[in-house]
Structure 1
Amino acid sequence: MRKVYIKITTAAILLISLFTACSLEETNPSTVDLEVAYTSPEGFESLVNYCYDGLYYFYGKIDGIGAMEMGTDLWVSESKESGFTLYDSKMNTELGTLRVIWNGFYATVNYCNTAIYYADLVEDYSEEEKNAKVAEAYFLRAWSYMHLVEQFGDVVLRTEPSSIAGIDNYPTRSSEPEFYDLIISDLKFACQHLPVNQGAERGRVAKKAAYGMLAKAYLQRTRLGEANASEYAKLALETAKELIDNQAAYNCALYTSDDTKSGYSKLWDGLNNKNNSEFLFLEAVDHEGFLNPDKDNRGRTRQYYLMDLKTVGAEWGTAEKNCAWYSRANDRGFKPTKYLMTEIFEPVKDPADTRFAETFFTEYYNSRWSDYTISQSLVDKYGKDQSLVGHVIKNTAWTYDPGNDYYFGQTYYRINASGNVNMVDEDGNGYLDGISVFTPNYTIPAEEKALLPFLCVDPSDMYDASGKWVSAETSTLGTYYKECYPSMRKFSSLYWIYNNQKWEGDVPILRLGEVYLIAAEAALRYNNDQAAAAQYVNAIRQRASVTGRAGEMAVAQGEVDLDFVLAERARELAGEQTRWYDLKRYGKLTTAYLSETNPDITTFEPSKHIVRPIPQSFLDAIANPDEFGTNGY
């Protein structure tokens, strides 16, 4: 296997991180020391490298997931990040996650501002070399400010490093258009000066990232309601087209389908993860030397979306410690809404669209290292047919195999993951003989489910009549069924599993597939060009099926309106930390829309919930907190 090394997380030791700071500011007692350190290319590049550090705290970590994906039409949770998922009383100025987001993105801004400030002092750089390097800081400052303005609204906009500007005890708000003016200017600089390729340094941004992010920024700006909003839609379309129409020039491409595998499946294939043609901007994880923040403690996303394999699943043969493919079930909580399961995705057994199957696990296998026998008590508890007493669920966890060709050498975890052996259907019932739990998004008749030799929980079991998730109060088996649901699969390719909690694959932040959907939405927002929008949507949809079924995925241009594109974004991007921003851009963060699509959310207040509370730690650190208030909280 070719080894790829990553260098972008080298610490710039002269900077003090803001992750634990109380305000926006940090001080450095010796600006001269910084000038000496950053005049050499090596010192300056170390500073630029550290601008990437924030990626590792927001992707694959619960803080970013809660803020960017939850509280939408797609996900529910009773136990995880409830301030974000349910807009309950935990969403307040004291919420710790808000401090992580606020301090984390402002820390990145400050590193980027420092790099931009010192760029002209670097010796032994040509003008082209300097611009190419500082363009990374411009890109990451724009990325950070885009998150800050979307999360918190018109807060503080800084373009100088705190080591130069000093502490500002009386900060002022900047308008959202001012934020976007800087974001767009920064990304234009990045488009102009970033190289097409960054060589072997995987994860370092290149031109394709800048064009993709600029198109995204133009489109997101349309939500501001400015008089020239359609012009920003036009610019989003033109920028997206530049990338789509010149993919070879920018070193990117959609994966194509063949007769057995969809392009969407290839996108998430572990063998493609470290050199992925669709990833434009990513969190690059060093899987060899673990030179990452938190070292090997990466890839936690799948853990938060996992169904209960250690209690309910265990009754049917799963064993959490051996379920490395799925993840560890100790931190589960995020589960799909009925809207996502049965309206966004077509609730049928064999859809042409492979995106549901590639987004979710629905089959969970016996992983006890031995066969598992269904007992009388289990049949009685779950209302199964008496004929199933004594039925054997086959073990699917492979034991030690010294001849395996996986990289990590973590043979115990990698080979003993469930789903490796006995993947057969010897009894001819249409299901593998090692299935312990099955959570499809289509409904199976009750009498048929009673005869299935495993626990089967479908939408009729998961949701009550109102569309809410079941509970002990609304269903006889609600205590158990509310813990059974499809689990996140996108970030779980077996190839990069280190153990049942850690996953060492790269995480995409922006993909080419999203750029196609940006182009489709922009075409509609600019001049309602449904023909152009349908062209981009159909390219995405057809690569989501195998070749022989591509025709089933085509949609007529008259069907492609803004709501269709929003639904398509859910099918394409579910779980990829875009949905809260999508609903905000669409004006769908409303009581009416969320009540219809996610009835578990009952406390949404549009007057305040379209932005987050400003952290109390910041308000306590400044002399003019009344000027900022609490963003309505």
Structure 2
Amino acid sequence: MQKIMKKIYYKFSLCILLGIGISSCSLDEWNPSTVDVETAYTNRGGFESLINYCYDGLYYFYGKVDGIGAMEMGTDLWTNVTNTESGFILYNSNMNPQLGTLNTIWGGMYATVNYCNTAIHYAPMVEGYTEAERNVKVAEAHFLRGWANWHLVEQFGGVSLTTVPSTETDRASQNNPTRSSEEEFYNLIISDLQFAAANLPDRTSAERGRLTKKAAYAMLAKALLQRTRLGDQEEYARLALEAAEELINNGDKYGAALYESDAQRSGFGKLWDGANNKNNTEFLFLEAVDHIDGRNPENWNRGRTRQYYLMDAKTTGAPWGMQENDAWLSRANSRAFKPTKYLLTEIFEPVADPADTRFKESFFYAYYNATWSDKVVSSGMVNTYGKNPNLVGHVIKNTAATGQSQVEGGRAINHMGLVNMVDNDGDGWLDGLSVFAPNWTMSAAEKADLPFWIVDPADMFDAEGKWVVAGSSASAIYDREVYPSLKKFSSLEWVYDRQNWMGDIPIIRLGEVYLIAAEAALLSSNDVNKAQTYINTIRRRAAVVGRQSEMEIDASEVTLDFILAERGRELVGEQTRWYDLKRMGKLNPTYLRQTNPEILFFDPAKHSVRPIPQPFLDAIANPTEFEQNENY
């Protein structure tokens, strides 16, 4: 792994002075434990270790259930299987100041702000730098402070905006925080990101994950676009378009490019190919994961995103040959989130062979026998699942075997889909297929005749578009646990076992920047032709060669609603959706009930921000003056 991965995750020994309770700290190359704070941070080695630690917050937000709940749930795309994160999903009484996830987000973002404030404070005093070298390094802190403050203001509204490190703040000020407006937050966020864009290097070849200009311009465009929700829409959209087009028009300079389709695979499919994960031309800002030495904040405990989206392979799928422990799929014990009907049948076109490959490349929906032995269809299975009696005795072939999952090192894992992936009986389907959960509806005759279990949208959802509940039909108790499972974070090269996926996680991709540019073009000057160009670029790369023209849209189709749907197709599961709905005015009862009828309790006067965590209010001296967010 690159040098940054050896240093970023080692906690420096003076970090306890930052006031966030870090108890185990060390330096990779330099140990300031015997000197005071000023001496430590004005030393080049100590300062660079401090900069490195500013990255830590990324690893507790992306690819973790806390960040997934806050960013993807309670939207038009997902609902729940269990009560996990139900406050975020349903806006019910579990969304309250005691919710632990909120405290995790609050504490993590403010810790990042404090690290960055410390670095920015001491930067002018650091010895051994030229001014340009110093600006390059401190630009990372400005970027990450802007990133953390962006999440704070979008999640919690106008809370406490801090620019002075805790080591330089008196106790009275710390105990009596004051609020700032959302506009003040954005003024600092934009200023920080502009500084980063001006001073970060064009690109870096030595340290994967280190911030460069492509990350800064992408984050700046994203923040400027989000700022349009507060007013001055045309001006901030114009600035967002400028930042986005700087990247789009200068991809060679910054090392950014979309993957191109060929006759075998779409460009969208290639970007999620595991072989491209560790050196991806579309990843602009990413969580870089050390897959060699495990030098991550939680060592090898990474990449569990996928298991929260997995259907019930543990019990419901077991009679047909699925199992909980399949390494490729993940482990089904933590499943919590499943797609809405709107996501499956309106965001994505519900047909068997669409020109758009993004549903196929984003979801598992064909599941194979992974039991290490052939599965014979029994009369009990025929009776329970409504199959034709002539299927009794049909053999579902075992497809499980041991494969090489890790590009560097060749770690062996066991998973489905490695052997017997054939159609020897000539029915048009692979003989090891055991469960099929398409987003299109199949006929009753097909579902009865084919030798595997099929659950399609007609089985998954009731007449209102809600997920079926146990007892609503004879099969509902089974049907409600079968659905397409997000697979963006499951490429086999980085599967280490059923829980750990050690691939890098993109935070902002180039595909999103094109959609930011399209939205900004509409908001700034209603330039539908420019927006059409950017949208069609993204849509063409989602089709294999030969079907790209089917993906193109006319200028008359370009609307904000179309762009919102396109963002769903492009970015599903990538921790963007809640902010998208907030920016576009879709966090309202009418839209949410229409697209996700499970949401019954959304109150726009309350739920456009989250409650302030109670532990914070209990710890400060002025909770009455600071005030809880409205209606919580």
Does the pair score TM above 0.5?
Answer: yes
Once residues 470 and 18 of structure 1 are traced to their aligned partners in structure 2, the CA distance between those partners, rounded to angstroms, is 48
**Contact 1:254/1:277 (<8 A) preserved:** yes
Report Cα offsets for 1:13-70 as digits up to 9, x if no partner: 211376669xxxxxxxx99711111122111110000000011100111000000110
Match of 2:217 among 211, 215, 218: 211
Report Cα offsets for 1:56-106 as digits up to 9, x if no partner: 100111000000110000000042210001111110000000000000000
In the alignment, is residue 292 of structure 1 matched against residue 296 of structure 2? Answer: yes
In the alignment, is residue 95 of structure 1 matched against residue 99 of structure 2? Answer: yes
**Contact 1:307/1:332 (<8 A) preserved:** yes
Once residues 199 and 36 of structure 1 are traced to their aligned partners in structure 2, the CA distance between those partners, rounded to angstroms, is 31
Displacement of 1:198 after TM fit? 2.5
Written as runs of structure 1 = structure 2, the 5 A alignment for 1:232-251 is 232-251=236-255
Equivalent position of 1:111 in the other structure:
115
Written as runs of structure 1 = structure 2, the 5 A alignment for 1:14-25 is 14-16=14-16
Displacement of 1:158 after TM fit? 0.2
Displacement of 1:6 after TM fit? 2.1
> What letter matches 1:368 in structure 2?
T
**Contact 1:20/1:103 (<8 A) preserved:** no
Equivalent position of 1:75 in the other structure:
78
The 3-state SS of whatever aligns with 2:284 is strand
Change (3 A) 1:303 1:19: farther
In the alignment, is residue 170 of structure 1 matched against residue 176 of structure 2? Answer: yes
> What letter matches 1:13 in structure 2?
S
In the alignment, is residue 11 of structure 1 matched against residue 20 of structure 2? Answer: no
> What letter matches 2:481 in structure 1?
E
Match of 1:258 among 262, 273, 281: 262
In the alignment, is residue 435 of structure 1 matched against residue 433 of structure 2? Answer: yes
Match of 2:372 among 348, 369, 390: 369
Q: How many residues were matched structurally?
A: 616
Once residues 456 and 627 of structure 1 are traced to their aligned partners in structure 2, the CA distance between those partners, rounded to angstroms, is 57
Once residues 88 and 476 of structure 1 are traced to their aligned partners in structure 2, the CA distance between those partners, rounded to angstroms, is 29
**Contact 1:19/1:100 (<8 A) preserved:** no
Deviates more, 1:119-128 or 1:469-478: 469-478
Match of 2:192 among 179, 182, 186: 186
Written as runs of structure 1 = structure 2, the 5 A alignment for 1:379-458 is 379-399=382-402, 406-411=407-412, 413=413, 416-458=414-456
Once residues 20 and 82 of structure 1 are traced to their aligned partners in structure 2, the CA distance between those partners, rounded to angstroms, is 29
Once residues 328 and 159 of structure 2 are traced to their aligned partners in structure 1, the CA distance between those partners, rounded to angstroms, is 42
Change (3 A) 1:349 1:157: same
Report Cα offsets for 1:538-560 as digits up to 9, x if no partner: 00000000111000000001101
Once residues 436 and 167 of structure 2 are traced to their aligned partners in structure 1, the CA distance between those partners, rounded to angstroms, is 56
Report Cα offsets for 1:575-594 as digits up to 9, x if no partner: 00000000000010000000
Once residues 605 and 592 of structure 1 are traced to their aligned partners in structure 2, the CA distance between those partners, rounded to angstroms, is 11
Change (3 A) 1:433 1:208: same
Report Cα offsets for 1:199-218 as digits up to 9, x if no partner: 32111110000000001111
Displacement of 1:400 after TM fit? 7.2
Q: Percent identity?
A: 64
The 3-state SS of whatever aligns with 1:281 is strand
> What letter matches 1:476 in structure 2?
A
TM value normalised by structure 2: 0.95
Unaligned runs of at least 5 residues, structure 1: 22-29
Match of 1:520 among 515, 518, 521: 518
**Contact 1:83/1:89 (<8 A) preserved:** yes
Once residues 185 and 400 of structure 1 are traced to their aligned partners in structure 2, the CA distance between those partners, rounded to angstroms, is 49
Equivalent position of 1:498 in the other structure:
496
Report Cα offsets for 1:574-626 as digits up to 9, x if no partner: 00000000000001000000000000111111110000000000111112212
Once residues 134 and 373 of structure 2 are traced to their aligned partners in structure 1, the CA distance between those partners, rounded to angstroms, is 61
Equivalent position of 2:334 in the other structure:
331
Match of 1:282 among 277, 286, 289: 286
In the alignment, is residue 360 of structure 1 matched against residue 371 of structure 2? Answer: no
The 3-state SS of whatever aligns with 1:248 is helix
Displacement of 1:409 after TM fit? 4.2
In the alignment, is residue 272 of structure 1 matched against residue 273 of structure 2? Answer: no
> What letter matches 2:438 in structure 1?
P
Once residues 194 and 532 of structure 2 are traced to their aligned partners in structure 1, the CA distance between those partners, rounded to angstroms, is 28
Once residues 363 and 449 of structure 1 are traced to their aligned partners in structure 2, the CA distance between those partners, rounded to angstroms, is 14
Displacement of 1:3 after TM fit? 7.9
Displacement of 1:507 after TM fit? 0.1
Once residues 207 and 318 of structure 1 are traced to their aligned partners in structure 2, the CA distance between those partners, rounded to angstroms, is 45
Displacement of 1:406 after TM fit? 4.6
Equivalent position of 2:344 in the other structure:
341
Change (3 A) 1:400 1:560: closer
Deviates more, 1:65-74 or 1:37-46: 37-46
Displacement of 1:319 after TM fit? 1.9
> What letter matches 2:511 in structure 1?
G
**Contact 2:2/2:208 (<8 A) preserved:** no
Report Cα offsets for 1:401-448 as digits up to 9, x if no partner: 8xx98534431x2xx210111111111212111111110000001121
Change (3 A) 1:386 1:257: same
The 3-state SS of whatever aligns with 1:605 is coil
Written as runs of structure 1 = structure 2, the 5 A alignment for 1:547-586 is 547-586=545-584
Displacement of 1:123 after TM fit? 0.5
Deviates more, 1:583-592 or 1:77-86: 77-86
Once residues 5 and 629 of structure 1 are traced to their aligned partners in structure 2, the CA distance between those partners, rounded to angstroms, is 41
Displacement of 1:9 after TM fit? 2.0
Change (3 A) 1:400 1:162: closer
Once residues 142 and 163 of structure 2 are traced to their aligned partners in structure 1, the CA distance between those partners, rounded to angstroms, is 10
Once residues 227 and 138 of structure 2 are traced to their aligned partners in structure 1, the CA distance between those partners, rounded to angstroms, is 25
The 3-state SS of whatever aligns with 1:282 is strand
**Contact 2:53/2:115 (<8 A) preserved:** yes
> What letter matches 1:487 in structure 2?
S
**Contact 1:18/1:103 (<8 A) preserved:** no
**Contact 1:262/1:544 (<8 A) preserved:** yes
Change (3 A) 1:19 1:164: closer
**Contact 1:320/1:328 (<8 A) preserved:** yes
Once residues 367 and 263 of structure 1 are traced to their aligned partners in structure 2, the CA distance between those partners, rounded to angstroms, is 30
Change (3 A) 1:372 1:19: farther
The 3-state SS of whatever aligns with 1:352 is coil
Once residues 468 and 158 of structure 1 are traced to their aligned partners in structure 2, the CA distance between those partners, rounded to angstroms, is 43
**Contact 2:406/2:496 (<8 A) preserved:** no
Once residues 330 and 229 of structure 2 are traced to their aligned partners in structure 1, the CA distance between those partners, rounded to angstroms, is 38
**Contact 1:216/1:236 (<8 A) preserved:** yes
Displacement of 1:260 after TM fit? 1.1
Match of 1:626 among 617, 624, 627: 624
In the alignment, is residue 201 of structure 1 matched against residue 207 of structure 2? Answer: yes
**Contact 1:113/1:160 (<8 A) preserved:** yes
Change (3 A) 1:263 1:19: farther
Once residues 405 and 290 of structure 1 are traced to their aligned partners in structure 2, the CA distance between those partners, rounded to angstroms, is 13
Equivalent position of 1:157 in the other structure:
161
Once residues 624 and 405 of structure 1 are traced to their aligned partners in structure 2, the CA distance between those partners, rounded to angstroms, is 52
Change (3 A) 1:140 1:31: farther
> What letter matches 1:244 in structure 2?
I
Match of 1:58 among 58, 61, 65: 61
Once residues 618 and 351 of structure 1 are traced to their aligned partners in structure 2, the CA distance between those partners, rounded to angstroms, is 50
In the alignment, is residue 309 of structure 1 matched against residue 313 of structure 2? Answer: yes
